[in-house]
Amino acid sequence: MKRILYISTIAILFSACAGNNDLSDPNLVAENFLKDYITMNYEGAKKYSSEDFKGLLDQYQSEKALLAEDVIEETALATVEIKNMEIKEAEGVAIVKFSNSQLPDIVDQLELRKVEDSWYANNVERTVDVELDKKFSDEDIEKMMEEAEDQEETIPTSEITE
């Protein structure tokens, strides 16, 4: 009986340690985080995220409720492809370039940060956002957003008469 108890205790300790190892490998963290992130499983993605990034994932989760069901279902089938990863161990940073099956030509960037012996997703930069930031200042973007809000949606009269 003692032997069974001893083996059970060892097995429990081993499985607990194995669970922590998921965060010690930046490749696994990136793969697991991106798999959940791309499919809009934000609760799952939070397991691999820094404390600072979890708030943004909560926001995404609440915005997900506004999406049409067919969009959510289609996104749930998306897959991720990691293009490359640059690990800067001394700086505690890893940069992961990736794309997803829905937009395969767009390469986005995930930043991982190392805290003690664990890696966490810290930021995702979308290429579209980066390109907009290069072309337009924050003031220009804010002005365009205000103008868009002020405009009423109208149907051109040529479409009404056809």
- Provide the edge-to-edge strand list for the sheet that holds 118-125: 80-88, 93-100, 103-115, 118-125
Tell me the pTM.
Answer: 0.68
Domains parsed from the chain with CATH numbers: 25-150 (3.10.450)
- Summarize pLDDT for 21-68 with one digit per residue, the tens: 589 999 999 999 999 999 999 999 999 999 999 999 999 999 998 999
- Confidence class for position 1, pLDDT limits 50, 70, 90: low
CA 75 to the chain's CA centroid: 13
Residue pLDDT, tens place only, 58-69: 999 999 989 999
Token representation of residue 123? 């930021």
